[in-house]
Structure 1
Amino acid sequence: MSRQRMSFAERRHQRFVLRALRKANGSRCHWCSKPVRKARANLPSPMPHDIATLDHLEPRSRGGLTDGSNCVVACYACNTERGSMPVEQWQAKLAARSSAEARAA
């Protein structure tokens, strides 16, 4: 499935939602609780992992909308690793990861 280009109005709305969620969330990743920072122009490649991104709980590829009830702030690392994975599957993966880290410590 090819990804559709977002219009200017959609990108502006997405930035507005991200800014509002980041302010309400205390600038922390919804999934790993690490601090995130606002993206600036001319970011280096590869993208830093602590950049705030808009993560759709119900992915856009599965019909999810860009609104406050379907979006959370996530760090770039969590958002790219999750991809279009369902929330339940992603939470199970995070739980397995945290229990493995606890056993290793």
Structure 2
Amino acid sequence: MNAETEHRKFVELLEEGDGKLVISKHALHRQIERGISEIDIRNAVLNGWPIERRQDGADVTIVLMYFLKIGKGQYRPLHVVCVFNVVHPESWTVKTTYDPRSGEWRDNFQRRK
């Protein structure tokens, strides 16, 4: 399965109340450090799009891209890194979240350099 399909199916489950989004302790610390709210993370998961997918055994990591509106005509890029197990695709855990303007990304923050 590809990242777009996995993400779309998870969003459907989440919207129907059958999906579970867990924010890890690490992600909680990072969101506070980086000025990112839980609502921002949820919006990124619901409305963002996958830009990267890695699989290690049954664990799948997906990086979601989202542009967070911070003012009139102003947007902040946001990456949300989620992990799920292929046996339980209805439960995703947010590993971390960050602003990708660190310089590691190109093509509008959607590809690694």
TM-score by length of 1: 0.32
Higher percent of residues as helix: 1
Higher percent of residues as strand: 2
**Max Rg structure:** 1
